[in-house]
Amino acid sequence: MTGSTPGTPRTLEDVDGWFGRPDQRLFTWFLERQDRLDQRGDLLELGTYLGRSAVLIGRHVRADERLTVCDLFGSPAPDEANDREVTRCYPGLTRADFERTYLAFHDRPPVVVQAPTSVISDYLRPGRCRFAHVDASHLYEHMAADLAVARSALAPEGIVVCDGHRAVHAPGAAAAVWTALDSGGLRPICATPSKLYGTWGDPDAVRDELLAFLAGADDLVHETCRIAEYDVPFLRARDEEPDGLSAEDAAEVRDAVQRAVTAEVAAGRAVEHAEAAEQRAEELAEVAAAAEIEAAQTIGRAVKAEERAERAEELATAEAARAAAAEERAAAAEERTATADTRIAAAEELAATAEERAAAADARAVAAEERAAAAEAEREALVRARTESETSLRQAAERTAEAEAEAKLQEEGRELAETALRAATEQHARLTSEAGRLRDNLDAARREVIRLKGQLRRTRMQLRAIRNSRSFRMGRALTATPRAMRRMTGGS
Ligand SMILES: C[S@@+](CC[C@H](N)C(=O)[O-])C[C@H]1O[C@@H](n2cnc3c(N)ncnc32)[C@H](O)[C@@H]1O
Q: What pLDDT is recorded for position 483?
A: 47
Q: How far is CA 347 from CA 334, 336, 339, 444, 463, in A?
A: 19, 16, 12, 17, 13
* Domain limits for position 409: 331-489
Cα gap 69→281, rounded to integer Å: 65
Both 224 and 336 in one domain: the answer is: no
Q: Is 46 exposed, middle or buried (0-12, 13-18, 19+ CB in 10 A)?
A: buried
Closest ligand 1 atom number to CA of residue 133: 6
47 touches ligand 1 (CB under 6 Å): yes
Number of domains in the chain: 2
199 touches ligand 1 (CB under 6 Å): no
Cα gap 415→181, rounded to integer Å: 195
Q: How far is the CA of 72 from the centre of ligand 1 (A)?
A: 7
Pick the last residue of a domain from 213, 245, 277: 245
Q: How far is the CA of 14 from the centre of ligand 1 (A)?
A: 18
86 touches ligand 1 (CB under 6 Å): yes
Give me the phi and psi of 340, to 5 degrees please.
Answer: -65, -45
On whether residue 196 sits in a domain, the answer given is: yes
Q: What pLDDT is recorded for position 489?
A: 46
Task: Report the CATH number at residue 176.
Answer: 3.40.50.150
Residue nearest to ligand 1 atom 6, measured at CA: 48
Both 477 and 381 in one domain: the answer is: yes
On whether residue 359 sits in a domain, the answer given is: yes
Q: How far is the CA of 109 from the centre of ligand 1 (A)?
A: 18
Q: What pLDDT is recorded for position 285?
A: 80
On whether residue 326 sits in a domain, the answer given is: no
Pick the last residue of a domain from 222, 245, 268: 245
For the chain, the first-to-last Cα distance in angstroms comes to 97
Cα gap 74→87, rounded to integer Å: 8
On whether residue 379 sits in a domain, the answer given is: yes
Both 212 and 360 in one domain: the answer is: no
Task: Report the CATH number at residue 378.
Answer: 1.10.287
Per-run averaged pLDDT (10 residues), the chain, 492 residues: 62 96 97 97 98 98 97 98 97 97 98 98 96 98 98 98 93 97 97 97 97 96 93 92 58 60 68 80 82 80 80 79 76 72 70 69 71 72 69 62 61 70 71 71 74 76 72 54 46 36
Cα gap 353→378, rounded to integer Å: 35
Is residue 288 helix, strand or coil? helix
The answer to whether the pTM exceeds 0.85 is: no
135 touches ligand 1 (CB under 6 Å): yes
197 touches ligand 1 (CB under 6 Å): no
Pick the last residue of a domain from 245, 262, 291: 245
C-alpha closest to that of 354 among 458, 452, 455, 454:
452
Pocket test for ligand 1, best of 68, 137, 160 (most atoms within 8 A of CB): 137
Q: What pLDDT is recorded for position 484?
A: 43
Both 36 and 144 in one domain: the answer is: yes
The angle at the Cα of 19, spanning 106 to 16, to the nearest 5 degrees, equals 70
